[in-house]
Structure 1
Amino acid sequence: MFIDTHAHIYSEQLLMDKDEFLERSLAANVTTILMPAIDKHTHEAMLAMEGPSPVKCISMMGLHPCSVKGDFEQELQLIEDHLRQRKFVAIGETGLDFYWDLNFKEQQYIAFKQQIEWAIQYDVPIVIHSRSSTRECIDLVTQYKGKGLKGVFHCFGGSREEAEQIMNLGFYLGIGGVLTFKKSGLDEVMRQVGLDRVVLETDAPYLAPVPYRGKRNEPAYIPLIAQRLSEVMGVTMDEIAEVTTNNAKKLFNL
């Protein structure tokens, strides 16, 4: 049994064949899919995916850093409204993205800090997006050490030093399709840091693993990531499934 801890299955790219990709997920023993939020334009579609399904689909709530614009305060208010109405499995995805657009860098920090505060308040994990900003995200999370903050650095692709710092903060590493890329270097990092703080994810429909790299990703590809991780670590697929599933259950209180 596998858990995909990060998949945007409510995206238009996947909704066109919703029933089929969910059936493929179940056939691949991916029995639970955690859905990170993006912004007000996708909340409704995400929440609708929690309906009856052969696979358990569970929502997070948050504001993606790439959606932090001039109206970010209104976006945060909508998130707070959702958080007051019901329980979510995590806050996210949030964080910092210094790859695409730096025009709202200061606002990204404000939004990230607010969502950290909510994660602590509601005692749920936070799911961190850290593209071109891993160091900055680690530094910010470090400021909350000892305050009960927990979570995962989604789509981790950093160095051994960064991985160890993240794990020392009590956080997990979200490992996805990048592990299967020949020149990512993530395989060597994983050999050095071990499995104690690892969860699996696809980030579907993005970052499909080899041999589907460049094509649409989906949760059914989790076993391809697990297979590569088992080769890297020199353990069986069963062990990868057991450890990563237990880690996800513990982190997200499933």
Structure 2
Amino acid sequence: MNSSLVELGVPVTTAGGVTNPGPDRPGAVPAACDFSDPSLYLNRELAQIEFNFRVMAQAEDPRNPLLERLRFMCISCTNLDEFFEVRVAVLKHHHAFGEGQPRADAMAITEVLGLIRERALLLVEKQYAFWNQTLLPELEKEGIRFLTRDAWTVKQKRWLQGYFRNETLPVLSPLGLDPAHPFPRILNKSLTLAVVLEGRDAFGREGHMALLRAPRSLPRIIRLPDEIADGSTSFVFLSDLLHEFMDELFPGMHVKGSY
């Protein structure tokens, strides 16, 4: 009976409360629709990447308040971190071990990973460009500055050196690299610097390279006291602090560079 009514175009409500709109009504699904057709589906991972581009578009929209734009950019960054931690990790696992169910979009995992890399690189490029070319100048107009090493005054550098020696240096433990030991595991989301050295350490060992990982207990952004901030709210990144005073971690050795 119900099938006859549907064929006549009469809406029918089933016992579960679901209404079949009939073949000629809006929302009707053509009987010949092939749901196995890959063109009907979006790739899950690529759709997530595109969502983060939309978040960045909110950050780039000058109609939004400045700090909201900063917040949107930070959301796109943390989303991308989580995306690689979860979705990309699952794809790589399936690719390495040949696991996983056939995908509705029929895309090969290698193809998806290649497109993810392409779009993720573009997204990160947009994030850095927006931060350096738009957000930093706009924040500075509002009296909020993020000072690079070449912008430090003598007073600021003296205060930062004292901060480094009292608050940062005591909790740092550089790790020397040598061929006799396996390369150490780099912790996820950690601030880790590679240091190129020249000379011998306190034990007479020839030094070439070392790793320096900043503990998560250290703040990634340091606010300068108002009395040396030159009338603004000024901040310094922990990474700049470490680069500037890196030589104090390796007495008797020459730091050729840190990266």
TM-score normalised to structure 1 length: 0.24
Q: Comparing both chains, which one has the higher relative contact order based on Cα–Cα distances under 8 Å and sequence gaps of 6 or more?
A: 1
Larger gyration radius, structure 1 or structure 2: 2
